[in-house]
Structure 1
């Protein structure tokens, strides 16, 4: 890689770039505005992000030097980190002491939060990557951020579901994954395999060499007891829950008389086929999982089945809470939730008065507009994923590149960057190619820039972050290797214990279905009226809260006016096509019409509390003191920064259940990575297996890790509530979104640990199938799976004749030849033709701003019925007074005082009105 050189900084702007422009206050103001939306109009923010120097755009020949704090990871000599040092003399009027540099405008005294801190100023890593820590290392500060330790005298660690008996009749992926999750949480899961064994024992990961049993089977069935079907029907009387993939819940489970008692959870594909590729096509996922050229790409592995299994595990606990006799989950319904970010916008448009209006579709797409730099960049030893999600991400990465000129290059300002992305990529590729993944990732963490590494399964086996969190465990019993242990950390969950896989039928002698139960089975309480406090953003955490709301919980979402959720996309009233309320200027903005926000926050109440103010933090403490559940989906240290972490911790012993769900968990050396879906795809093994086989890696446009983490968050809450119902104490579960994604790709970890190789990237092919893929037709795309031995219907030959035929013609011909095929569905068309309504997969809800719109429903049926319709998502600050009075007993006078102090009730400010000339120039890309 050549001689050593600074990672960050050092480059000077090139002559002739926009940073050298001269001329007038108006031009300088326009340059700031072009950089990045609102950030371009905030020179103070730009100074903090781009480092010291003259103000941005301050005249001819102006140069922005590389930030000293980032250049070598150290503050300039004499600089004070926050406030004055103890004993230092006060500043002299008119300036600062000689040789001293004033602290940044946003700095505060040590120990007091600095809300707009741009970067974590840690020492630069040594050349070659971050500092190595031994496996199992625990940061001394982790006790403030992760779950609290158990107090002396508490019972042995067994898991919140200890004592729950689960009988698993399901085979394949979905049902067994549900069983594996319940076993991770302490349940006793007995798998009764059919004669010949579960077919998953032979399931190929990628068609390459693998030892028996299949890594898929090992991953899904480690930690269970394995018996044969001869234990039936006595085992049905033993079980509290039965996991099945056979007939509906009202039909017989096995030959013989029906048995009353256990909750039966049935999980099926929901279609006439059980081919993974075809379910992905029929669900509409492939219509949104496309590259820049519009080519669909299959999700790797068995994602429809994994996601359905996670919902099935949550449905089991929800059914126990309800006292239901049965529950049903479909792969198809689960997969619809995988792309709810896009699906919400598609359904909003389809159910509007203007379903064919492109402007309506563009508005409803919300925050999902394209940004750059993004995607996958090759580096010296693999690939990395630069994120440009927040306004400051572009500025921070330019500082890391040592290119302070780039934000002012007119080719790469917000309005033009996507159009010129190939030019920008050419500028940046040499910088990436000269550095390793670890160097780039550590520099991004230090700078506060959202970026990630692309980790393979083999990388995960030696990754210090996953090792420090104890995510992987050794396998014992029928096979060796390593397997995922669990994606949650909690003092009530065992750590560092090998996971056992029995031989076929190896637990038959152990299993005694007539053995008396030592104690009642744990089950969550009825959720009606249960108080859930939600401190979340975007998708994963809100999905957890919404599901709890559909079960009857009183979910209260906490927001603040000066930092609204980015998914509350603002819209001007005159653009919405709905009546403008009396007294409202049509040019004003509303934050209450976003398709994504309104979809994910149905069934909740919304309050505005500013935790950055002392009085607002006190209100939050009071809310926590009366809540049953707290769901936190923000940065790993948000509770510490707000000064409420210890208050929350004390409430756990009282009975509070806390689930935190940052991207990489609350502990470990990578915990400060920003939590965005495309970054988690890289860190969670998805990007390494997604995309065309010829590509080194790719990311999807779907933000899929949020959907995965959200349902695993539901499961964590319900399990902890079941444990609380038994022993009376709360729990604190630290969920890692990275680890939940690895769980749904866990067969790759087993393969890498046993075979020493990574799973192959299969593109659209089904593993172990002679021929399969996705082909373009004259009016769409068709997915097909051909299991006929010796078939000549290769993807290339099918694509050759399908291109000139309609989708209907291609389907007819393939099916006539005995090939399974499905059209790549479009969600808007499926809504328009009534298919989704008939299947109970959508509901229509009246919203006070957006009107009556369609939304996806949870893919769970309890006792044969869908979960009840939800009330609309809350308006900003809609329920503040109501909740403070109901939950806390605050009187109107106290609430008025809090509002006057802006501790509660703050709302987003209206944006500055654009001039006619500025509006005419436009900001589209």
Structure 2
């Protein structure tokens, strides 16, 4: 099979999993990646270790060349420099895409902070809403935050390559992870109940949402709509509860969660998780078996899709996640060799070229956005931020459901579907049109639009576009080199291809909950809808990879992005440990296999600060702050033996300070620490304010409001500009359809009269029955 990035050379310099994962994306798609050997790379000792070597580091470095040499000299023969050094002083050739990767960006109050994956994500608002009501908040370890940062760096780099090279880009790991907390940051403006810690496996704005014990195994349950609640109650034999109107909507279910959970939990233990999941598939319910790592690795659906990469480390072999971007013509390598020792770089000619001339790297790219909800719109929003023209297609009969799903007439009379800030967050920098794709006239117009676009993104249920006659096999006739991305929850093939899922379902199915939380508790859901922003960022990376392949070969292709597989890299340390060692290790709660002390510590005014002691030097500096020189000589093993005592000592110190003061004092000593920000607190965060991260825009129906920036920027510059607020329904019907398709005013008026296009959502009670058995467009995942 051809490799998407063959012919591209990348130089990787610096430390950290974000850098390594960005390089892995390039290497496993066929680029030649030269990694400059680092003598003191902390990844070299990262858990899990196999015969003295880090298996995690080996997985992150698959298919790279380990080299030694001068950065500037090596960069002359490369197209991309992935750079995670604190500073870079050498002069670099003008053709180079130079992408800087850092925890908090090059500038701002946090720029010099000591950081770990957990302390960075704490400051990004990821953890505050998770865990017991009384605390501590639950903080998943591993490399999840750095995976998100690595994807952002890869998107920055590939977008610059698409735009002709010759750019300096910057990716912030911190800002990449704010996408995880965006929902609460947006929704809490009008619904503050979403920004509360409600207990293990409980999240507003819906209930139930969590993991429940079965006779064998655990079942991940997410219920959103009244119909889903009724079907779930009927499935477990609680018919009377299903008919009770008091629990039809989530606020009442959440208010009585403990009583309701007890009722259905008693029923769930009567059958296995596999049996419940099989019935949920038939009932189209968004449930999943929550697998232990050994079960995940053995799952036939995943094995059939080569979801796990075979990694060779010398004579040793184990498995880790394959890159999830499933390009049907140019899939990533399902095998990898990790470099052992530096060697002379293979000869390569110098690359010529100049600085890119366009203001933004994706200027000239046009993408047709058929997605709705969260995951798909994050993908297209990211491309739009980088300069692509995004044309979002909705229908007046079925708008994007993040505009709201209230069926009452007053909702439509007051145009409340134009007033949801969540829609505004996800759909900035897009043009908006409406087309009824279930009508022949609407489908025909879409095909004509496809001929004018480079790519299509969709996240409908698998059977919707084929029924509408608008799947890839059809649309490629409109544009033979079309790149089209689909986002089914579990992939377009296999027995789960029609499964419904929310972002929480994807996390449940990834096995991540079974390695999260304390050992004496149930598997822990780590986020309201983790899979959505993770899937969206991976989708943008996939689309750019396919577009680069098309740029060099002229070939388009279809991308089958199984969103559940996008979650596997977040679970990589435990997947690798299971494969390499036969055991994923104990569930540690907020503790860490290599860092002691490590956790969330209480502060004044119910605040919390995350602290991670990364090595003996950091421990000695912490002891200086605590005025405990008698403890400064404890090494990792000794600290582990006294972990509870040291945590109590640290908690006593933090309780007498507010969280920001504690963080600042720790950072002054070079100890990694971060306040556990609530998502709405991100709006006042001094670092984000200093970096201009929140941008104010004006929009009809919403007025002036603030939106978060992309985690990518042109190095040394301000955030990528939000130049267009989210579109109102059908806002650019006339402009787009006349500009691209040449429709006259009379033709547009006729289409509006016939309901093919429009600017007013059709009330539920006024929607006409469809004349064909075609299902209304619904996303496979949020």
TM range (shorter): 0.7 to 0.9
Contact conserved, 2:117 with 2:141, CA < 8 A, in 1?
A: no
Contact conserved, 1:288 with 1:342, CA < 8 A, in 2?
A: no
1:214–1:337: structure 2 CA closer, same or farther, 3 Å change rule? same
1:877 is aligned to 730
Q: Deviations over 1:593-621 (max 9, x none)?
A: 11111011001111111112222222222
Other structure's SS at 1:680 match: helix
2:48 matched to 1:185? no
Superposition map of 1:230-629 within 5 A: 230=69, 232-248=71-87, 251-252=88-89, 258-270=92-104, 271=110, 272-293=113-134, 295-322=136-163, 323-346=165-188, 349=189, 361=192, 369-409=204-244, 412-414=247-249, 416-478=252-314, 479-494=316-331, 498-505=335-342, 508=343, 511-515=345-349, 527-569=362-404, 588-629=414-455
Cα distance between partner residues in 1 of 2:370 and 2:348: 46
Superposition map of 1:113-132 within 5 A: none
More divergent stretch after superposition (407-416 vs 214-223): 407-416
Contact conserved, 1:281 with 1:287, CA < 8 A, in 2?
A: yes
Cα distance between partner residues in 2 of 1:906 and 1:374: 35
Contact conserved, 1:607 with 1:877, CA < 8 A, in 2?
A: yes
Match of 2:700 among 842, 848, 851: 848
Match of 1:857 among 709, 718, 722: 709
2:624 is aligned to none
Q: Deviations over 1:56-108 (max 9, x none)?
A: xxxxxxxxxxxxxxxxxxxxxxxxxxxxxxxxxxxxxxxxxxxxxxxxxxxxx
Cα distance between partner residues in 2 of 1:618 and 1:777: 61
2:586 is aligned to 760
1:548–1:818: structure 2 CA closer, same or farther, 3 Å change rule? closer
Contact conserved, 1:379 with 1:437, CA < 8 A, in 2?
A: yes
Contact conserved, 1:277 with 1:766, CA < 8 A, in 2?
A: no
Other structure's SS at 1:783 match: strand
Cα distance between partner residues in 2 of 1:902 and 1:223: 53
> Cα offset for 1:252?
1.7
1:912–1:700: structure 2 CA closer, same or farther, 3 Å change rule? farther
1:552–1:338: structure 2 CA closer, same or farther, 3 Å change rule? same
Contact conserved, 2:366 with 2:390, CA < 8 A, in 1?
A: yes
Contact conserved, 2:368 with 2:393, CA < 8 A, in 1?
A: yes
2:46 is aligned to 203
1:905–1:292: structure 2 CA closer, same or farther, 3 Å change rule? farther
Larger radius of gyration: 1
Superposition map of 1:760-779 within 5 A: 760-779=586-605
Structure 2 spans left out of the alignment, 5+ residues = 105-109, 197-202, 620-633, 767-782
> Cα offset for 1:756?
0.9
1:395–1:728: structure 2 CA closer, same or farther, 3 Å change rule? same
> Cα offset for 1:535?
0.8
1:394–1:500: structure 2 CA closer, same or farther, 3 Å change rule? same
RMSD: 3.3
Cα distance between partner residues in 2 of 1:429 and 1:561: 40
Other structure's SS at 1:655 match: coil
Cα distance between partner residues in 1 of 2:357 and 2:38: 29
Contact conserved, 2:451 with 2:479, CA < 8 A, in 1?
A: no
Q: Deviations over 1:753-799 (max 9, x none)?
A: 11111243332223311211112223111222234235566323433
Match of 2:464 among 612, 630, 638: 638
> Cα offset for 1:204?
1.9
1:769–1:850: structure 2 CA closer, same or farther, 3 Å change rule? same
Q: Deviations over 1:482-507 (max 9, x none)?
A: 232221223322577532223222xx
> Cα offset for 1:221?
0.8
Superposition map of 1:52-201 within 5 A: 157-195=1-39, 198-201=41-44
Q: Deviations over 1:289-342 (max 9, x none)?
A: 445556422133122211111000011112223444311112111111221111
Contact conserved, 1:237 with 1:513, CA < 8 A, in 2?
A: no
1:210–1:697: structure 2 CA closer, same or farther, 3 Å change rule? farther
Q: Deviations over 1:801-833 (max 9, x none)?
A: 644654356557767887543322345445346
Q: Deviations over 1:239-265 (max 9, x none)?
A: 1111111135xx325xxx655542211
1:394–1:523: structure 2 CA closer, same or farther, 3 Å change rule? farther
1:317–1:390: structure 2 CA closer, same or farther, 3 Å change rule? same
Cα distance between partner residues in 2 of 1:894 and 1:243: 51
Contact conserved, 1:263 with 1:327, CA < 8 A, in 2?
A: yes
1:27 is aligned to none
1:132 is aligned to none
Superposition map of 1:686-835 within 5 A: 686-779=512-605, 780-786=607-613, 787=615, 788=619, 789=634, 790=638, 794-800=646-652, 802-803=654-655, 805-807=657-659, 810-811=662-663, 820-832=672-684, 834-835=686-687
Other structure's SS at 1:274 match: coil
Cα distance between partner residues in 1 of 2:115 and 2:183: 25
Q: Deviations over 1:374-393 (max 9, x none)?
A: 21101122211111023321
Cα distance between partner residues in 1 of 2:122 and 2:322: 31
> Cα offset for 1:850?
0.8
> Cα offset for 1:688?
1.9
Other structure's SS at 2:53 match: coil
> Cα offset for 1:586?
11
Match of 1:898 among 743, 748, 751: 751
Other structure's SS at 1:872 match: coil
Contact conserved, 1:485 with 1:499, CA < 8 A, in 2?
A: no
Cα distance between partner residues in 2 of 1:309 and 1:502: 20
Alignment length, in residue pairs? 722
Cα distance between partner residues in 2 of 1:433 and 1:907: 48
Cα distance between partner residues in 2 of 1:763 and 1:450: 27
Q: Deviations over 1:729-764 (max 9, x none)?
A: 212111111111102322322211111112433322
**TM-score, normalised on structure 1?**
0.73
Cα distance between partner residues in 1 of 2:660 and 2:366: 51
Contact conserved, 1:572 with 1:589, CA < 8 A, in 2?
A: no
> Cα offset for 1:279?
1.2
Q: Deviations over 1:392-429 (max 9, x none)?
A: 21122223223332212366443632222222222212
Contact conserved, 1:571 with 1:590, CA < 8 A, in 2?
A: no
Judging by fraction of residues, say which structure has more helix. 2
**TM-score, normalised on structure 2?**
0.85
Cα distance between partner residues in 2 of 1:781 and 1:495: 41
Contact conserved, 1:170 with 1:246, CA < 8 A, in 2?
A: yes
Cα distance between partner residues in 2 of 1:486 and 1:887: 36
Contact conserved, 1:677 with 1:705, CA < 8 A, in 2?
A: yes
